[in-house]
Amino acid sequence: MKKKNYKKMRTITSIIFAIIVIAITLSVVIYRWLPTLTGAKEKEHLENKHLKVDPGKLLNLKALNNIQEDKSAKQQVITVDEKYEDNPVVKGANWCLNKKFNYDFDMAYRLTVYDKEGKIHKKPIYPWGDIDPNIGVCTDVVVRAYRQLGIDLQQLLHEDAVKNKNAYPYSRWGNQAPDTNIDHRRVPMLEVFFKRHAKSLTTKATSDTWKPGDIVIWDMNNDNWSDHIGIISNKKMNDKYLVIHNFPSPGYVAEEDVLYQWKIAGHYRYLPE
């Protein structure tokens, strides 16, 4: 009798243990695959241990949707303004256009560990330091374009910020001191630099004031904080100048009809001798 009870207890214990194992296995499977089943995407692991989200480059989904809707618009008639083919800023912007580096969707703080030849180093490079040349955001188009002219905005902005720190909006990011890794890669910082050192022009949407090589800065959110930048191309579509910029759509450096897409916050002409 005792042997029968013992066997019965062993059987019940085995069943309970099997049920527990099955329950744990199902829980692990559900936890692992539920995000995929519901259509959610896991964020890719940041490869660089120094990365952190930069609040100065938050993705504007509303602006992204607007530009996507606009692309299906009118018949596209593209012409080239040959008078500006030799404009050095246009040439620099076209260099970026040909490189077609991808948009950095991490919009992250990165160390400028690449030199101007594109070689990576163990420590940040300054001046002429860069991030991975295969990626970038809107500001990297401007910085890299001007470097084709022999002008390093990383150095020029940093030197100006060291002498005139209060002129720059460091409080937005809680910075205590100028930072050669990121300052020149933030739109509000470049905006201050151009206000101080470039020729400021009207922001009104009139075709005769915009020239190839000009810098355009937008306030996409209409919150008085500029958040996107590009360079006017020497090509026109339907008699409007195109802009060379880097934006989440299409996800790489492109030449597009977006000049009047968002609120224009700044218009500058910068070509130092």
This prediction's pTM: 0.75
Measured CA to CA, the distance from residue 95 to residue 182 in angstroms comes to 22
| 80-103 tens-digit pLDDT | 989 998 999 999 999 999 999 999
Please give the span between the terminal C-alpha atoms of the chain, in angstroms, as a whole number.
Answer: 105
Lowest mean pLDDT among 57-71, 81-95, 125-139: 57-71
pLDDT band at 47 (very low <50, low <70, confident <90, very high): very low
Q: pLDDT confidence of 272, banded at 50, 70, 90? A: confident
pLDDT-based confidence at 9, cuts 50/70/90? low
Q: Check residues 123 and 209 and name the one with the higher pLDDT.
A: 123
Greatest mean pLDDT among 58-72, 164-178, 188-202: 188-202
For 226-235, what is the mean pLDDT? Answer: 97
Confidence band for 71, pLDDT divided at 50, 70 and 90: low
Return the pLDDT at 58. 44
Does position 265 have pLDDT exceeding 70, yes or no? yes
CA 116 to CA 106: how far, in whole Å?
A: 22
Among 151, 93, 152, 104, smallest CA distance to 132 is for 104
Fold of 55-269: endopeptidase fold (from Nostoc punctiforme) (3.90.1720)
Under the banding of pLDDT at 50, 70 and 90, the label for residue 51 is very low
**pLDDT attached to residue 239:** 86
Tokens of 258: 């977006």
Q: Residue 201 pLDDT more than 90? A: yes
pLDDT at residue 8 in the model: 63
Q: What is the CA radius of gyration of the chain?
A: 26
Instruction: Report the C-alpha gap between 1 and 246 in whole angstroms.
Output: 82
The domain ranges of the chain are 1-42, 55-269
Q: ∠ CA 61-65-66 to the nearest 5 degrees?
A: 120
Rounded percentage of the chain residues whose pLDDT exceeds 90: 64
Structure tokens belonging to residue 220: 């996409």
Task: With beta carbons less than 8 A apart as the criterion, state whether 80 and 234 touch.
Answer: yes
Run of H or E residues at 269: strand 263-269
Q: How confident is the model at residue 170 (pLDDT cuts 50, 70, 90)?
A: very high
Q: What is the pLDDT of residue 100?
A: 97
Separation between Cα atoms, residue 102 and residue 247, nearest integer Å: 9
Return the pLDDT at 173. Answer: 92
**Residue 31 predicted with pLDDT over 90:** no
Start-end of H helices in 49-167:
61-70, 88-99, 138-147, 153-163
